[in-house]
Amino acid sequence: MTTHGAIPWKMESQRAYFAKALIELGERNANVVVIGADTTESIRTLEFGRKFPDRFFNVGISEQNMISVSAGLCAAGKLAFAATYAIFGVAHTYNVIRQNIAYTKLPLKIFCSHAGLTVGPDGATHQLNEDIALMRGLPNMTVLVPADGPQTGKAVHAAAEWPGPLYCRFSRSNFPTVTSIEDEFEIGPAYVLRDGSDVTLAACGVMVSRCLQAAEELDAEGISARVINVSTAKPLDSATLIRAARETGAIVTAEEHTTVHGLGAAIASAVVRHHPVPMEFVGVQDVFGESGEAYELLEKYGLTANEIVAAAHDVLKRRGG
C-alpha cells in the first residue's frame, strides 16, 4: 500500500503522460506504430508522429478504417497503438473491433481520450459513458481505466508488454494526480489506496480521487473506508474485491460511466457469487450528458464525494452495522 498525498492534489493532463510514454516507447522499440483519425494534435499522438513520421498514420475521419488498418499492421507484426476520442474510437467502431481485434486476438492497443462526461462543453454526442461496458463485453478484450496522469503513462508501457487486445480510456480534462510516479502499475491488480474496515469505496478514473475525498469525510464521522483503485476493469481483480466485501461488509462503487452495465455492475457480479454485501452505485444514472464544464457536469450528474458519502451511509444502514 502507498500513502496518498494531501488534498488538494495537483491537476494534470492524462494526454500529456500518454504522449510522453508513447514517445519513450517509440524510442525503445522501433516496431511501434501509431494510427490516428484526425484528432492527433488534440490527443497528442502527433508528437509521436513528428518524431517518427514513418511509423505514424493519420487516416482521417475514418475510425472503422483506422481499426482495421491497425489490425492489418498487427497481423504484419507491428506493435500498433490506435488512438482517438472514445466516442469515435470504440462506439462508432464496435463491430470492427469485435471482428478484427477481439475475435482475431490481434494485439492492438486502443487508447481513447475524451471518455465520459468530462469531455465537457462538446456535450452528449461526445460524452461516451458506455465504453467500459462495450469493451468489457467483448471476449479477449482487456480494459484499463487509469485514475490519473501517471497511471496513464504506465498503462502505455504495460500495454506494450500485454499479449492481447486492449482498450484504455482516459479523459480530456485534467484529473487530480492521486498516485505517484513511484507507484507500481500492472494490468490486473486493483490497488488499495487507503485501508479501512467499515465500508469499501471501489472506483476507476476520476472517481478514485472523489472516493479518497469521501473517505476523509467519512473518517471525520468515525467511519473507516477502504479505497480501491480498480484501474483494470477487465480482467477484474475479483480476489481483492471479494476480500474487501468480506472484511468491510459493504461496498460503494463509483465511475464516470453508466451504472447500467459498468464497473459497479461488474464488481457486483463478482462479489455476489462469493460474499454478497449491500452495494450502491455512484455513476451516470442511465441518462445522456449535456454541455457544461467538466466539473460542473460531475456535480450535476451526482459524481461527487458527497454522493459517495451518502451512498456509504446507505449501505451501512442496510448492513445494520
Is 226 strand, coil or helix? Answer: strand
Element (H, E) at 232: strand 232-234
Site membership for another protein, residue 71 (CB under 8 A):
yes
Active site residue 63: yes
Query: Can you spell out the DSSP letters for 233-266?
Result: EES--HHHHHHHHHHHS-EEEEEEEESSSSHHHH
249 φ/ψ sector (left φ>0, alpha ψ -120 to 50, else beta): left
Q: Work out how close the CB of 56 gets to another protein at its nearest, in angstroms, rounded to a whole number.
A: 11
Q: What angle do CA 17, 170, 140 make, to 5 degrees?
A: 110
Q: Work out how close the CB of 274 gets to another protein at its nearest, in angstroms, rounded to a whole number.
A: 33
Q: Work out how close the CB of 107 gets to another protein at its nearest, in angstroms, rounded to a whole number.
A: 12
Nearer to another protein, 42 or 58 (CB): 58
State which of positions 41-70 bind another protein (CB under 8 A): 54-55, 57, 59-60, 62, 64-65, 67-70
**Cβ contact 154:125 at 8 Å:** no
Gap between the Cα atoms of 68 and 71, Å rounded: 5
Site membership for another protein, residue 72 (CB under 8 A):
yes
Catalytically annotated residue among 12, 47, 63, 216:
63
Q: Work out how close the CB of 113 gets to another protein at its nearest, in angstroms, rounded to a whole number.
A: 21
Gap between the Cα atoms of 301 and 3, Å rounded: 29
State which of positions 99-128 bind another protein (CB under 8 A): 99-100, 103-106
Alpha carbon of residue 167 to chain centroid: 9
Residue found by looking up cell 496518498 in the block: 4
State which of positions 14-43 bind another protein (CB under 8 A): 33
Q: What is the largest CA-CA distance in the chain?
A: 62
Q: Work out how close the CB of 15 gets to another protein at its nearest, in angstroms, rounded to a whole number.
A: 25
Nearer to another protein, 42 or 65 (CB): 65
Nearer to another protein, 107 or 116 (CB): 107
Site membership for another protein, residue 95 (CB under 8 A):
yes
Q: Which range binds another protein by CB under 8 A, 91-99, 118-126, 210-218, 264-272? A: 91-99
Helices 305-319 and 207-220, packing angle to 10 deg: 60
- Report the length, in residues, of the chain: 321
**Identified binder of another protein from the candidate list 77, 139, 163, 222, rule CB under 8 A:** 77
Gap between the Cα atoms of 311 and 166, Å rounded: 32
Q: Work out how close the CB of 50 gets to another protein at its nearest, in angstroms, rounded to a whole number.
A: 18
Residues in contact with another protein by the rule CB under 8 A: 33, 54-55, 57, 59-60, 62, 64-65, 67-78, 80, 95-96, 99-100, 103-106
Active site residues: 63
